[in-house]
Amino acid sequence: MAMLHQIQNKKWGKKHMKLVTIEDLKDGDIIANDVLLEDYTVVLGKGTVIKEQYIDKLRELSIFTVYIEEKTQDAPKEEKKAPERVKAPAAKPKPQEKKPEEKKPDNRRPKLSLETVTVLRDDVEEEIRNNIKDILELHVYQKTKGLKKIAETAQNIITDILEEDEVIEKVYDVKERNADIYEHSLQVCTIATLIALKLGLNEKQVYDISVSALIHDLGLRYLVVRYEDQDINLLPAKDQEEYKKHPIYGYTAIKNEDWLSNQAKEIVMNHHERKDCSGYPLGTDLISRMTQIVGVCDEFDELICGIGKARVRVHEAINNIRNYSGIWYDSDIVDTFLQLIAVYPAGSQVKTNQGETAIVMKQNPHFPERPVLRVTHDKFGQVINGEKIIDLIKETKVVIQEVIK
């Protein structure tokens, strides 16, 4: 069965286009990107003008959404009016010239503001999170057939990510938070998509990673075992066994979804498997690199939000991932992950090896362990008067020794 897949252009840059469902497609709409089958056969080429028979063919091939060119209206031209005659103002007496005051030079340094770099804007993230929740809960609790709507959500996430400048060159702030399964799915999706882009995976692979990451934990919705803010290794053996079946439950729920590729289904089934056979539910080492990408992101985010694990700080979760490089996951996948995620998110309170207390103000691209700090207290605990900024790229002898909060 054909699978929805809309190719982004070679530059992966901004476009005046929008994603529409087949039901909303109309005669005269223009295809913005090639529409492909799973084997990369072109169904409709970029620039094709839609006709009714094309819509029927797309429906027959189970292609549910496509990108079309967004029509923009030219701003109405303003009519030029003849200039009105204006009477010259009456002459005013010439004021006495005042000697200009000498301006004192401002030697104050501009204040550094907190700069948080996130993959998606907060309002966009909240909207997508709620959309994921609605789709998955309808599927689980009301047995609806609307799970394929998640495909549109995945494409929208990819498009939003690609619209950012130098998206794979940034270092992103990801913070500890509550165990929300839908926010977790979105976070895994965005980080995994970034890794896939940075590793140079093709468009179809990026799409499969994105859509499978959104539904990778669908099986958790079928559990009665409590897993939020809970280390499953401390549960009774029976509950541990039940929890470790959630990838099977998730795969069972999607195995007959024709719009999902076999690769995407494999990711859902095997996202907890590891290269050293220490994973679950099967304990196999036969896992694809795409599955490893989702697995790395899932492991990291579970640790910082407490899903099936005791919650830890971001730097501790990153160290955990680093420790299993080449053991659980391919080392280049881990290295790419480490290049993208800030070890000390903006806003973190830290202590340096000089004994000073500081706030992380912003990240340095390409150096996730060397942010810019604003010192708040000296080594004796006294408040710093004025603003003392330390850029750890320039101050090479200073390192962060402890995360306070």
The three-state DSSP-derived secondary structure of 196-213 is HHHCCCCHHHHHHHHHHH
Q: How far apart are CA 112 and CA 103, in angstroms?
A: 24
Q: What is the pTM of this model?
A: 0.72
Cα gap 346→115, rounded to integer Å:
7
Give the number of C-alpha atoms closer than 13 A to the C-alpha of residue 267, restricted to the C-beta side: 31
What is d(CA 141, CA 273) in angstroms, rounded to the nearest whole number? 28
Residues 291 and 201 sit within 8 Å (Cβ to Cβ):
no
Q: Which among 245, 244, 265 has a CA at the least distance from the CA of 255?
A: 265
Q: Domain 17-69 has what CATH class?
A: alpha beta
- Please, which residues bridge with residue 18 across strands? 68
Can you read off the two tokens belonging to residue 20?
């529409």
Distance from C-alpha of 83 to C-alpha of 53, rounded to nearest angstrom: 56
Task: Please check whether residue 247 is in contact with residue 269, taking contact to mean a CB–CB distance below 8 angstroms.
Answer: yes
CB 271 within 8 Å of CB 294: yes
pLDDT, residue 40, reads 56
Nearest in space to 300 (alpha carbons), one of 210, 216, 197, 188: 188
At 213, which amino acid appears? Answer: A
Local confidence pLDDT in tens for the 405 residues of the chain:
333 333 333 334 444 667 777 777 888 899 887 787 765 567 787 788 898 888 888 888 877 677 788 765 444 444 444 444 444 444 445 555 555 555 554 444 456 667 778 877 777 788 888 888 888 888 776 666 778 889 888 988 888 888 777 777 888 989 888 889 999 999 999 999 999 999 999 999 999 999 999 999 999 989 988 888 889 999 999 999 999 999 999 999 999 999 999 999 999 999 999 999 999 999 999 999 999 999 999 999 999 999 999 999 999 999 999 999 999 999 999 999 999 999 999 889 999 999 999 999 999 988 999 999 999 999 999 998 888 999 999 999 999 999 988
Beta strands 17-21 and 65-69 are antiparallel
Distance, CA of 386 to CA of 79 (rounded, Å): 55
Per-residue pLDDT at 96: 56
Instruction: Give the torsion sign (CA, 338, 215, 134, 193).
Output: positive
SS (H, E, C) 118-152: CCCCHHHHHHHHHHHHHHHHHHHHHCCCHHHHHHH
Residue 377 makes CB contacts below 8 A (sequence gap 6+) with: 356, 357, 383, 384
Domain 122-340, second-level architecture? Orthogonal Bundle (1.10)
Q: Where are the domains of the chain?
A: 17-69, 122-340, 349-403
DSSP label of 9: P
